Every structure is written in structure tokens, then in C-alpha cells.
Structure 1
Amino acid sequence: MSLPRIGVTLPQVSPYAGPDAVVTVAQAAERLGYHAVSASDRLLIPAGPHWNNDAGLPEDHVWESLELLTWAAAHTRRIRVVTGILNTIFQPPVVLARRLATLDRLSKGRLVVGVGQGGGTRLPPFYIPEEFTAAGVPAGRRGAGFVEHTAAMRACWAPDPVEFHGEHYRIPLAKVGPKPWRGSIPLLFGAITRSTIERAARIGDGFITTAVNWDDTRMQVGWYRDAGGSGSGSGSGSGSGRGEGTVVVNIIPTPPGEPVSPQVFTGAVLGQLDRAVAVGADEVHIALHLLPMEAEQQVELIEELAAKLGLAASAPVS
């Protein structure tokens, strides 16, 4: 089987998150030959009686993704650090652009950014209203405002002087830095509906989805390809892994909240990888953070899997 690039999520959900846990998993993933470590964004979890959590999100609080990835990058040398997903419109574009460029420079160009505009539910309205209230951002900023936010961040990464004038965001003529390590940062768009997936193909450097239902995932990847999203090529270690039309599929190998043995975990992931290859995924990220296990136990899982896949022997140094 020709493998996609494989990444794992970092421990970011309490009570299993923490500085030692992040370093343990990140260093093990790099040593074992995995392509990337990732962390997602979740501002809050509603506590009101109407909250039904149809997407099965962790009910414990989630640590901030950029700080976690910075900590992971500081304790590794090669492995990519990926946000999947970062809800960008909760922060002003010039502020977030500088934060991302700083992490990219500190990691020497290892950052790939999955971006989204809220999310958190699988059903309409496809976002959590309470997050927008807490962030002080109107939910109507989604859509065209999200596209404009992306353009404003990219403007900040362009050569100085920077200037941007949009309907929602304005950046006066100024010098804005730091600039990304390689001049820009790949932005992979998280999307669910056909219109947002086609937008990802038009203006993004790639597309991220979560394989809740593989028939849906196959259809989503098809929409992306049909709209002009081009792949960077699969195969463990192939390509730069820095965008180029990359399709990233997050997989949940076992039901969230249930501990598993290395053997069960490996069997489940291998089955999911077969499906990921079939739908044309360039990269797969395994949702380790959803397992109620200490970091050392998570390492046992990815050690077993790496041995089965022979990842260490093919690990690139970049």
C-alpha cells in the first residue's frame, strides 16, 4: 500500500495535556518517523441545556493550539507542526499573522496552518454561537469576512510596506513582521459543505476534513478535486508537505473516550489508512488526543503502528 504522510495529534485535552505530555508525544513521533504533529482550536464548550454536542467534541477544556505547537517545535528538529483547525476569525488578522509567522520562524519553516471559521458541529449552523459571543466577533463575519481575513493575513506576510483595505479589516500602510521562513505559510481550509470546499480549492493551499463517514469524505474530496484542488502527491515522505493542494484527512480510529491496546489501535488505523488511500488523501492525522490515556501510553500506540508501517526506515530529514 502506498501510504499517505501520517501525523498524530498532540495531547491537548485536560486532564492528559501538559508540557511533559506534549514533549513526550512530539519527540516520539519525530523519532518514529511520523510526518507531523497537530493541534486544534476550541475556544470553549457551552454549558447550557441546549448544547447537544452532535460532533462529539471533548467536554474537557482544550489547551491553546499555537502555544502547544510552539512548545512541540522547540523540542523537535524535523517534524512538521500543523494547526488543524485554527479558527482564525476569532483574532484580528494582523495579530494572528504575526503570531503564525513567529512560530514559523522559530520552527524554521515547519508550520502548516489549517484554518476554519468556527465549526464545532456537524449540523447547521455548523458553528458554536457561544464562541462568537465570547470572542466579540459577529457570526455574520463567516463567509466573505473569513475570506477577507485570510487575504489580510497573506498581505501581512508579503514584502513591506503592507497595506490592506477591505470591508471588515483594514491595515494602514505599515511595516509588519516577522515574515514567514519561506515567504509565506500554507493555509489549508477546513470545510464541510460543497460551497466551502470549492472555495478551499479556489483560494486555499489545501483542504482538511474529518472522516466521520467515509462516503461523505470521498464525496468531499471529489468536490475539492473537481473544483481544481490539486494534490501534492501521496507516499510517505513525498512532496514538501507544505500545502500545494494537499488533502488532509483527520481520522478517529476508535470511539472517543475509550482506551485501547496497541494491537487494537494498530488494526483500526490500518483499516482507516486503506480508506484514506481509496479517497485520495495526501496526509492523514490520527486523533490521539481523543483517547483517555497518558502520553506514555499514547507513545506505545504509535510505536506499534510505526513498526507495522516501517515508518522509521523511511523518515526524511528536512
Structure 2
Amino acid sequence: MRIGLSTPVVVQTPAAASPWEAGAGICDIARIAETADDLGFDYLTCSEHVAVPVGDAAVRGATYWDPLATLGFLAARTARIRLATSVLVLGYHHPLEIAKRYGTLDRVSGGRLILGVGVGSLQPEFDLLGAPWEERGARADDAIRALRSSLSVAEPSYDGDFYTFGGMVVEPHAEQPRVPIWVGGRSRRSLRRAVGLADGWMPFGLRTMQIADMLATVDIPDGFDIVLPAGPLDPREPSGCLTRLRALRDVGATAVTCSVAADSTDHYCAQLASLRGIVDEL
């Protein structure tokens, strides 16, 4: 079971963010990423929202660092750790826009991109960007198919229900022959979408037994990733961390996205080192 990092600072939701994150900047993020890289964590994440309505910020948070700029910076400050969008909202972008921008990120990072994608759930943001809200699930399915045909080739072509293109050159493109695509969501449909079209599923907002019940309804392909969130872990309580991680492993997690309790950048890095030691006991 691989262990990734829900990168602090880059997303600050009121229910999860620690007070120190409000005053942190890119140097703090880079130091945490470098520490996670040195310690052997598998991936770090960054989410996408362009603009959050004021009325939703109390729950969703207002701080969302742009994933392309943030992960591009961190690519230059790290050597091995993978860079995961968690998630890009497919409806906000043309598939070739994603293929070009994130294919370039894959190239400059030496093939470390994991493309986490989602359907989206914030209609005012769709409306602001002129993105179609209706049929967004069907559009997302078509976009994933288009991305699969486009990410790793110079002359992509695709003919789908919502996206059709050909006779175009996209350079640079992704270095990986097959960029991992993980689908985020909390519904059975998101799981079916992931199993049918992608390489992994990243559920959120679900209890462990709900995840287990949903996974029991599908045939999981070989090599398919089940990427589960661990929630805040405090390595000062090793037994609690081990209990949580083992429970996720028993449900079927192939990767776990962790956050750790801390009160500063220094403390966060120290907590990561302690968590690495705990993970090695699994």
C-alpha cells in the first residue's frame, strides 16, 4: 500500500486546515514537498477551484492554489515523488487543453504526473466559466476517453459525443506512455466511471464501510488503484495511525492519502518523518 500526502496550505478547508497554514507560502510548501520526497512518500496532491462563491467558502474553503502552477514549481524542487491533481474539474477544460498543459507537466517532471479528475459539483463556478452544467457526467466520460487517446501522443484524434478533434499537433505531450488517471467522487456512478474508463478511484466523504459496500458491487481490474483518504493522523499516537491505515488496507486501499496534525512547517516535517517510521511497520 503506497502512502501519499494531502499537501497542506494549497487547499484550506475550515474543517481540516490548521491555523499555521493561513500564513504559509510557497517556500513552506516546497520544504514539505522536499521532505516528503526524501522520506519516500509516493505522491502529493493539489486541487482545483477557479473561484468559490462567498456563500460556499465557509464549508469548502476559499484557498485553492492553482494545481498546474503549484505542481510545476514543486516538480523542480523534488526528484521522485509523483504529482497528483486531486482533482481537475473536467468540465472546465477542453481535453486537449489538459493534454497540453499537464502533458508538459509530465514532461518537465520526468514522467511523474497522476491526473486526478472529477465531474464537479459547484454550479455557480460552472456558470461563471461558461461551462455546461447539464450532462456534466456524460461530458466527463467523453472527456476521459478523449484524454486517454490524447495525453501521450503528438497527433491526437478522437471522435466522441461531445469532443471531436484531429489533424492537430500537441507538443510537448506526456512522457509516460500511459498517464494514470484517477477519478474522484463519492457516488456509485463515480466508481463505475473509474473502473470503466480510468486507472483508479479516489472517493471522499464516505465512511469506510460505505466504501467497502460500494467496492463489493464491481469487479476491480488488475492494477486498478483504490486511493483512500486517511484523514488527519497524529504520529505522536502511533497505534491510532496504524489502526487507521490497516483498516483502509483491509478495505482494499492500494494507496492512502494522508494529512498530519501539526502546528508549523517545522512540526509538519517532523511529523512526516515520524509517520514514515510508522508506515514502515505496516
**Closer, same or farther in 2 for the Cα pair 1:193/1:13, shift >3 Å?**
closer
Q: Counterpart of 1:249 in structure 2: which amino acid?
A: L
Query: Which residue in 2 is equivalent to 1:258?
Result: none
Q: Any conservation in 2 of the 1:37–1:79 contact (CA below 8 Å)?
A: yes
Distance in 2, Cα, partners of 1:52 & 1:96:
26
1:36 to 36, 43, 50: 43
Map Cα deviations across residues 256-304 of structure 1 (whole Å, 9 max, x no partner): xxxxx6414x45432320211110100001135xx67432221122112
Q: Which runs of 5+ in 1 are unaligned?
A: 119-126, 233-244, 255-260
Paired residues in the alignment total 272
Partner SS for 2:91: helix
* CA deviation after TM superposition for structure 1 residue 188, in Å: 1.0
Query: Which residue in 2 is equivalent to 1:196?
Result: 190
Distance in 2, Cα, partners of 1:287 & 1:43:
23
Query: Which residue in 2 is equivalent to 1:242?
Result: none
Query: Which residue in 1 is equivalent to 2:253?
Result: 281
**Closer, same or farther in 2 for the Cα pair 1:30/1:134, shift >3 Å?**
same
Q: Does 2:111 correspond to 1:94?
A: no
RMSD over aligned CA atoms reads 2.4
**Closer, same or farther in 2 for the Cα pair 1:52/1:110, shift >3 Å?**
closer
Worse-superposed segment, 245-254 or 158-167: 158-167
Q: Does 2:265 correspond to 1:263?
A: no
1:297 to 267, 271, 275: 267
What does residue range 1-318 of structure 1 map to in structure 2 within 5 Å?
Answer: 4-11=1-8, 12-13=10-11, 15-48=22-55, 51=56, 56-57=59-60, 59-118=61-120, 127-210=121-204, 212-223=206-217, 226=218, 228-232=219-223, 245-253=224-232, 262-264=235-237, 266-288=238-260, 293-310=263-280
Q: Any conservation in 2 of the 1:112–1:186 contact (CA below 8 Å)?
A: yes
Partner SS for 1:162: coil
Q: TM-score, normalised by structure 2?
A: 0.87
* CA deviation after TM superposition for structure 1 residue 205, in Å: 1.1
Distance in 2, Cα, partners of 1:186 & 1:98:
16
Q: Give aligned-pair identity as a percent.
A: 26
Q: Which runs of 5+ in 2 are unaligned?
A: 13-21
Query: Which residue in 1 is equivalent to 2:17?
Result: none
Q: Counterpart of 1:307 in structure 2: which amino acid?
A: G
